[in-house]
């Protein structure tokens, strides 16, 4: 390791405008003096780089007034990321339902819509319709389409993050290998007249985990979220970044074989999702004459205190808890969040019963098992956050400033 301590330049080079912006955005250095100290740059160089960020409208002076400088001397003005210059669009697809929103760059929801959108209708129809939703949402939020800097999309299937395409998704017929990014960018342009913007696509459980971790668990360096709705999936956030594995398959725990003979939607028998998902519980309830066809029906029954639904949810929780004992032993997370239609007291009781019985005490000693903070908005917040982190990453800031002519 060479260079001055605390230096943040990439590849041994000097810190650029993007590095300074990252330090301000994350709160690690929010005055000129602190930026000099963190980067080893001179006062004049910090000033030049900040000036570009001010001219782009990406930075502003803080409302709090001057604070003491770490280098001594005059009190310094604090700097803040200025989130007023752009907005992000986000959407979260479930199998028969979707949510979409306009978000600020700091993750605030400015307008939101949810409605029926059936994944089985295929990507062309679904993504075209999302383009229309986005156009209406921008109007509702009072923002122009040319203020949109990017779009984030959560989908209920495994995603190759290099290409943004879904890979052999068990519950998204017709989507395998489809150019989601290109179609959604086109739909946005068709419905708003604005030029295409970058589109990022990721798995829904990944983005829910990312949204929740960024909102309430920023200090947690190993965070796991398990979504139990129509299917079962997990998202893992390590050191603030989504852990995807080598080809986007990490966290796809719904198709682990647990030795039952129930047929899964993926075509195999005995998957965890075939016995412990919201869909599986709904099927078992229907067999006993209770009207339930989906995970959301089970959610409603649980909310109404239906004893049969509660017993089946607890049993499903035990099945999932058994698998999570392995997950927790492998990853030793600080937080295990249970989200989705089944996430309630009965299911959690079942999860805890098997998790603490099967996992090593060392890996659960400091583990918090919690339910969602953001609820049905977690995927939207995560998708918006993913776009912001992509566009304001130090290596991308420089090329974007050049494109803006500053
Ligand atoms: Zn399966």
CATH number at residue 66: 1.10.10.10
Listed residues: CB within 5 A of ion ligand 1: 255, 264, 266, 268, 271
Compute, in angstroms, the gap from residue 257 CA to the centroid of ligand 1. 8
pLDDT of residue 65: 67
pLDDT of residue 6: 43
The CATH number assigned to the domain holding 93 equals: 3.30.420.40
Q: Same domain, yes or no, for 395 and 362?
A: no
Q: Same domain, yes or no, for 186 and 299?
A: no
pLDDT of residue 287: 96
Q: Report pTM.
A: 0.92
Compute, in angstroms, the gap from residue 269 CA to the centroid of ligand 1. 7
Beta strands in 108-254 (DSSP E): 109-116, 148-155, 159-160, 165-166, 199-203, 222-228, 232-238, 241-242
Compute, in angstroms, the gap from residue 281 CA to the centroid of ligand 1. 15
Q: Same domain, yes or no, for 119 and 267?
A: no
Q: Same domain, yes or no, for 152 and 280?
A: no
Domain membership of residue 308 as a residue range: 218-374
pLDDT of residue 265: 86
Compute, in angstroms, the gap from residue 211 CA to the centroid of ligand 1. 26
> How far is Cα 376 from Cα 208, in angstroms, rounded to an integer?
9
Rounded to a whole number of angstroms, the CA Rg of the chain reads 23
pLDDT of residue 70: 62
- Residue 345 three-state SS: helix
Compute, in angstroms, the gap from residue 158 CA to the centroid of ligand 1. 13
- Residue 305 three-state SS: coil
Residues with pLDDT less than 70, the chain: 1-12, 64-65, 68-74
Compute, in angstroms, the gap from residue 258 CA to the centroid of ligand 1. 10
With the C-alpha atoms ordered 218, 223, 228, 229, is the resulting torsion angle positive or negative?
positive
Q: Same domain, yes or no, for 230 and 363?
A: yes
pLDDT of residue 7: 47
**5 is a domain residue:** no
Compute, in angstroms, the gap from residue 276 CA to the centroid of ligand 1. 11
Compute, in angstroms, the gap from residue 383 CA to the centroid of ligand 1. 26
Contacts of 278 (CB under 8 A, 6+ apart): 228, 229, 230, 294, 295, 296, 298, 299, 340, 341, 342
**171 is a domain residue:** yes
> How far is Cα 102 from Cα 204, in angstroms, rounded to an integer?
18
Compute, in angstroms, the gap from residue 204 CA to the centroid of ligand 1. 17
Compute, in angstroms, the gap from residue 393 CA to the centroid of ligand 1. 36
> How far is Cα 76 from Cα 229, in angstroms, rounded to an integer?
50
Crossing angle between the packed helical segments 180-192 and 123-141, to the nearest 10 degrees: 40
């Amino acid at each position: 390791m060479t260079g001055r301590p605390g230096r943040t330049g990439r590849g041994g080079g000097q810190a650029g405008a993007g590095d300074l912006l990252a330090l301000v955005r994350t709160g690690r250095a929010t005055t000129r003096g602190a930026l000099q100290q963190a980067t080893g740059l001179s006062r004049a160089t910090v000033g030049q780089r900040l000036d570009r960020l001010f001219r782009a409208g990406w930075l502003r002076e803080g409302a709090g007034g001057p604070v003491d400088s770490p280098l001594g001397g005059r009190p310094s003005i604090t700097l803040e990321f200025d989130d007023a210059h752009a907005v992000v669009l986000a959407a979260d697809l479930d199998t028969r339902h979707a949510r979409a929103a306009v978000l600020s760059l700091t993750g605030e929801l400015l307008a939101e819509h949810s409605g029926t959108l059936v994944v089985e209708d295929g990507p062309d129809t679904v993504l075209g319709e999302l383009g229309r939703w986005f156009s209406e949402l921008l109007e509702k939020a009072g923002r122009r389409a040319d203020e949109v800097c990017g779009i984030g999309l959560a989908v209920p299937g495994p995603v190759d993050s290099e290409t943004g395409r879904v890979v052999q998704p068990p519950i998204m017929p017709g989507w395998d290998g489809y150019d989601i990014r290109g179609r959604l960018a086109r739909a946005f342009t068709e419905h708003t007249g604005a030029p295409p913007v970058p589109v990022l696509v990721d798995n829904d459980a990944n983005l829910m985990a990312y949204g929740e971790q960024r909102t309430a668990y920023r200090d947690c360096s190993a965070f796991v979220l398990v979504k139990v709705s129509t299917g079962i999936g997990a998202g893992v956030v390590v050191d603030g970044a989504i852990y995807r594995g080598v080809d986007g398959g990490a966290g796809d725990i719904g198709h682990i074989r647990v030795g039952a003979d129930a047929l899964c939607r993926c075509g195999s028998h005995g998957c965890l999702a075939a016995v412990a998902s919201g869909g599986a519980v709904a099927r078992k309830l229907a067999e006993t004459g209770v009207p339930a066809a989906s995970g959301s029906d089970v959610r409603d029954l649980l909310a109404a205190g239906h004893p049969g639904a509660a017993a089946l949810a607890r049993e499903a929780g035990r099945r999932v808890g058994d698998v999570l004992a392995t997950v927790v032993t492998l990853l030793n997370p600080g937080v295990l969040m249970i989200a989705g239609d089944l996430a309630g007291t009965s299911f959690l009781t079942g999860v805890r019963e098997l998790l603490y019985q099967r996992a090593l005490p060392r890996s659960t000693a400091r583990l918090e098992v919690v339910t969602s903070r953001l609820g049905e908005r977690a995927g939207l917040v995560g998708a918006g956050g993913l776009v912001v982190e992509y566009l304001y990453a130090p290596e991308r800031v420089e090329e974007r400033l050049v494109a803006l002519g500053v």
